[in-house]
Amino acid sequence: MDLFNKCRKYDYVQKIKEAGIYPYFHKLETRQGPEVVMEGKDIIMIGSNNYLGLTSHPDVVAAGIDALREFGSGCSGSRFLNGTLTTHVALEEELADFLGTESAVTFSTGFQSNLGIISAIAGRSDYIICDKENHASIYDAARLSFARMLRYRHSDMQDLEYQLSTVPDSAGILIVTDGVFSMGGDICKLPEIVKLAKKYGARVMVDDSHGLGVLGAKGKGTPEHFGLEKEVDIYMGTFSKSLASLGGYMAADKEVCEYVRHTSRPFIFSASITPASVACARAALKILRNEPERVKRLKDISTYMRKGLKEAGVPIMDSGEATPIIPIYTYTNIRTFTACQKLFEKGVYVNSTVSPAVPEGQSLLRTSYMATHTEEQMDRAIVKIREVLDEVKDITD
């Protein structure tokens, strides 16, 4: 049997391309922003995680340029050996100070952060308990850890308690949840999770990739949103969203961070974050600290869009929370691909999410917003979304 047979037989993508509705890998010709140019078209960008709109901020760009001049383009080694710069340490100290933890550790990507944290903290005799809608990196991290993984139904606290009750008293337990779920835009039930963790002697880790810069009066994320900053054992997040860069982090007690630094294979055996990326993240974090009004503006524009879509009769997934992620139901894969392409042609970029990423029959357009969007841009996008949904309503798979 030729290992590559599966590759040759994989024709689904080619069929979608031939139908003219392939929605992926569109080429940007400008910086990320509320409006961009993609493949020669002027596009309203409502498919980016650039929540605070900082990827083109002059201070962020200048910081990256200055770091290139000072430190060069890369580190040529892991943090464990020759790849630790003074700016890496400064970023970790600034993150810990912002989040109110004793220490922090940075990783080269957000995906790698989950791999590095979870695989180091949990071992063969431990249990990892996950919300079923957690990010894929959490599931891959659980596999890498060799711990036993249990899943509970999405935000179902009764099921979480049942899973906790099945764990032997001798085992360590790590409950891992997204803070803001990346597809639905809903917020985890952190108060109930913390309460159950205390009852069963578990530790709590929050993947706040979509929460930092989004939730809380100061943008500190899901724990701040609920007033539970001191009740979360491990904060995890990324720099590729609100902090306008690339990389990821954990923030926790000093002894936990020190343990991860010296035992995490993804951390030890990966090159460190490039100097420019570190500098951009530091600059973005500084702006977040100094301009918390950006967080409020993001909430306001998200609320405006959610209200506008509802009034236009657009079938959205509404969690009742003003997060910048608003999924629009399109239900079938082909309808979703077609709607995505038609919107692109009309000057609106959204992300298509289809099975198996979501359950069969629950395909959707994932839209997301920036603090730098305007109401006028949102009004134009709503009109185009309503038009396209009417055009594709009769399409089935």
Q: Do 158 and 275 sit in the same domain of this protein?
A: yes
Q: Summarize pLDDT for 127-177 with one digit per residue, the tens.
A: 999 999 999 999 999 999 999 999 999 999 999 999 999 999 999 999 999
Same domain, 275 and 308: no
How many folded domains does the chain comprise? 2
What is the CATH classification number for the domain harbouring 324?
3.90.1150.10
Q: Any catalytic annotation for residue 57?
A: no
User: Would the pLDDT of 388 be above 90?
Assistant: yes
Q: Answer yes or no: do 218 and 364 share one domain.
A: no
- Confidence label for 271 from pLDDT (cuts 50, 70 and 90): very high
Catalytic, 182? Answer yes
Task: Mark which of 256, 290, 324 sits at the end of a domain.
Answer: 290
pLDDT tens profile 227-245 = 999 999 999 999 999 999 9
CB under 8 Å to 261, separation ≥6 — which residues?
79, 80, 105, 267
Q: What is the pLDDT of residues 277-313, one digit of tens each?
A: 999 999 999 999 999 999 999 999 999 999 999 999 9
Q: Write out the residue range of the structural domain in which residue 388 sits.
A: 5-51+292-392
**Same structural domain, 245 and 151:** yes
- Co-location of 143 and 213 in the same domain: yes
108, 145, 209, 210: the active-site residue: 210
Q: Of 290, 305, 331, which one is at a domain's C-terminal end?
A: 290
**In whole angstroms, how large is the CA radius of gyration of the chain?**
21
What is the model's pTM? 0.95
Specify whether 364 is located in the same domain as 282. no
> Looking at the structure, do residues 145 and 231 belong to the same domain, yes or no?
yes
Selecting among 88, 220, 225, 241, the annotated active-site residue is: 241
Task: Decide: helix, strand or coil at residue 319.
Answer: coil
Q: What are phi and psi of 347, to 5 degrees?
A: 95, 25
Phi, psi of 189 (to 5 degrees): -90, 70
Residues 284 and 310 in one domain: no
* Catalytic position from the list 48, 113, 182, 270: 182
User: Is there a domain that residue 121 lies in?
Assistant: yes
108 is catalytic: no
Pair (195, 242) in one structural domain: yes
Instruction: Give the pLDDT confidence of 329-363 residue by residue, as tens digits.
Output: 999 999 999 999 999 999 999 999 998 778 888 89
